[in-house]
A and B are shown apart, each in its own frame.
Chain A
Amino acid sequence: MGKTLFDKVWDAHVVKHAPGGLDILYIDKHLIHEVTSPQAFKEIENRGLEIFRTQNMVATPDHNVPTLDQHLPIKDALSKFQVDTLTENCEKHNVNLFGLGHPFQGIVHVIGPELGLTLPGMTMVCGDSHTSTHGAFGSIAFGIGTSQVAQVMASQCVLLQKPKKMRITIDGELSKGVEAKDIILYVIAQLTAAGGTGHFIEYAGSAITSLSMEERMTICNMSIEMGARGGMIAPDEVTFDYVKDREFAPKGEQLKEAITYWKSLKTDASAQFDTEHTFDANNITPMVTYGTNPGMGIGVKESIPNSNGNAASFDKSLNYMGFKKGQEIIGTPVNYVFIGSCTNSRIEDLRKVASFIKGKKKAANVNALIVPGSKQVEKQAKEEGLDKILEAAGFQLREPGCSACLAMNEDKVPAGEYCISTSNRNFEGRQGPGARTILASPLMAAAVAIEGKIVDVRNYLN
């Protein structure tokens, strides 16, 4: 029987089979950030261990960092302590750190790909569930807990049971105004927030292969929102073009050899998946979420359903969001717009938003925050003059970080307010206590910012 893409990469990284049906899986790249690493460094030190392969690690602060005045000391004492602790730990253990102010700093899942740290065929981990983003390159990338961060520090390996395999095939062409974000929100709405549990997903089909690398990252990023360990897409010419010339990517002969190998990383025709789903891209419209998990999504023209699984939890969720069963979502006034996060803060996202709002003004009621995913994205946006367009439209262009995606810094949405957000989680309180998050694509967020209420972006495109 043939192998899937996932099998090929997994099997190439098994050091040995361990007791209980677990595998010792070798990890090529270990990304770390300030929130989930301090206890792991402590663990290593308390046990008198050394970091086994510091050269496989890269660190950056992102979750806690302010998005204003990054050149000044961080005001929040606890955040400052956490970011300083990362710096100290990296210095002490000789870990490559792109700290605040460094031209490579940014959200860990944005900088990996843009620096060529993320490559096809790799295994990658980070103490962060959205590590699944990197799977867009045909790598096995997944989030781990802090105990596992310590394990990887100590041994460059994790101990895992090989997940089951799922393929999600999406064929057909996307209509105008429908983006990668809509594809993944649609898929999660179909399969539910737990629909991928126990699985590693491969995304395939013409609607996927026609996407850019950045769009593929948006898809893989949200694999975790259906409970999957990760998602991946077979590398192709689009991938190789993106990778070449990146800072840490192989060059010259080494790149040629790598590409020959990477070309073998695709699912064999005879390979079997544990679960398969197929969707038609023509059925996908701009999506919005109405509830408090990413599986609670609908097309923007649809009405909120009357039920969805557990009745008590559904009612609790609608109550939190201030919505009613059967209600239309279009026309809902929205005062906050957040464009950012590891799902949608890359240069293509900023370009799309800028080209939509060029010459327009945000609605007076709207507070529109746009947070680039990295220093490099910020720099490029400025070089392309996107900052001028955004500012002229009344958007605040900030410095890079996770920002209002999880509201660990000052960027919070007030209680009771709706925020249309390009991030990945609409959990209760995710963007601040009591905040009501509506997930959508960058284009939808841009349109909402201009109108001050939920609209169908397709009505504004000709």
Chain B
Amino acid sequence: MEKFKKLNSPAVPVAIADIDTDQIIPARFLKATSREGFGENVFRDWRYDKNGELVQDFPLNDSKYSGKILVAEKNFGCGSSREHAAWAITDYGFKVVVSSFFADIFKGNALNNGLLPVQVSEAFLTKVFSAIQKDPQTALEVDLENQTITLVATGEKEQFEINEYKKECMINGYDDIDYLINQKTEIENYESKAVKFW
């Protein structure tokens, strides 16, 4: 997993609530057996119309926006557990998703792929959207060590939560497998004691 400490970047705003993982990556693109290449089809049915033409005003297609931060309305990543959604977002080039609320499974999947979910208050999210509207290239700074997100132009900042173990993993590029395979003795110990009827 890639390490993550700090990022200063403009952001791409998708002002839609309840973005489900079927929109992030539709099921018909889940047939690959590797993790790569999903970025091409991220938000496929919003980025392209039914004739396969780019929808010019969809923010990811709009050249005035750029950067490694995706900003969305609340309940981002609801629906399916497909990790392909996190792969598609990172493969496209995003490192951070900002929303006021994340679906549980998506949040876990993002953290397992070095994609940082930054949960902010509704009020701060509104500020972020309006700052980008005013200046599409306005920068956000995400500082994982200090758990802050800052609107660089005005200095307005907010603290965000992250599990302390997950934070260490992101900063050092470790993942849970590394941790779990070192617990084998304890796992075997558990197995020998557990009540089992199956």
Contacts and interface: CB of A to CB of B under 8 A. Distances in A.
A159 B180 contact: yes
A261 B102 CA distance: 37
Contacts of A335: none
Contacts of B104: 163, 197-198, 227, 229
In this complex, the interface size class of chain A, counting residues with CB under 8 Å from chain B, is 35 or more
A452 interface: no
Interface residues of B, number: 60
A55 B195 CA distance: 17
A38 B31 CA distance: 10
A143 B105 contact: yes
Contacts of A121: 197
A73 interface: no
Interface in A131-188: 131, 143-148, 150-151, 154-159, 161, 163
A310 B17 contact: yes
A350 B43 CA distance: 36
A227 B107 CA distance: 12
Contacts of A15: 183, 186-187, 189-190
B73 to A, nearest CB: 6
A396 to B, nearest CB: 21
B45 interface: yes
A35 to B, nearest CB: 5
Contacts of A198: 104
Interface in A47-87: 47, 49, 52, 63-64, 76, 78-79, 81-82, 85
B194 to A, nearest CB: 7
A37 to B, nearest CB: 9
B170 to A, nearest CB: 12
B53 interface: no
B27 A433 contact: no
A117 to B, nearest CB: 8
A119 B192 CA distance: 20
Interface in B142-191: 163-166, 168, 175-177, 179-181, 183-184, 186-187, 189-191
B45 A309 contact: no
A293 B78 contact: yes
A151 B86 CA distance: 17
A53 to B, nearest CB: 8
A120 B168 CA distance: 36
Interface of B: 15-18, 20, 22-23, 26-28, 30-35, 45, 50, 73-75, 78-84, 86, 101, 103-105, 108-109, 112-113, 163-166, 168, 175-177, 179-181, 183-184, 186-187, 189-191, 194-198
B100 to A, nearest CB: 11
B31 A78 contact: yes
Nearest to B75: A194
A36 B163 contact: no
Q: Which 10 A-B pairs have the closest CB atoms?
A: A20-B165, A258-B197, A38-B33, A145-B83, A145-B109, A143-B81, A147-B112, A78-B31, A155-B180, A310-B17
Which has the most chain B C-beta neighbours within 10 Å: A81, A159, A163, A229?
A159
B175 to A, nearest CB: 7
Contact of A82 (B33, B168, B179): B33
B81 A293 contact: no
A306 interface: no
A250 interface: yes
Nearest to A199: B104
Nearest to A316: B16
A392 B86 CA distance: 46
Contacts of A312: 15-17
Nearest to B162: A20
A197 B31 contact: no
Interface string A248-264: 10100011011001000
A156 B114 CA distance: 23
A227 B164 contact: no
Given A15-B186, A143-B105, 8 more contacts: A15-B189, A78-B31, A119-B198, A257-B197, A293-B20, A408-B30, A429-B23, A434-B50
Interface string A3-34: 00000000011011011111010101100000
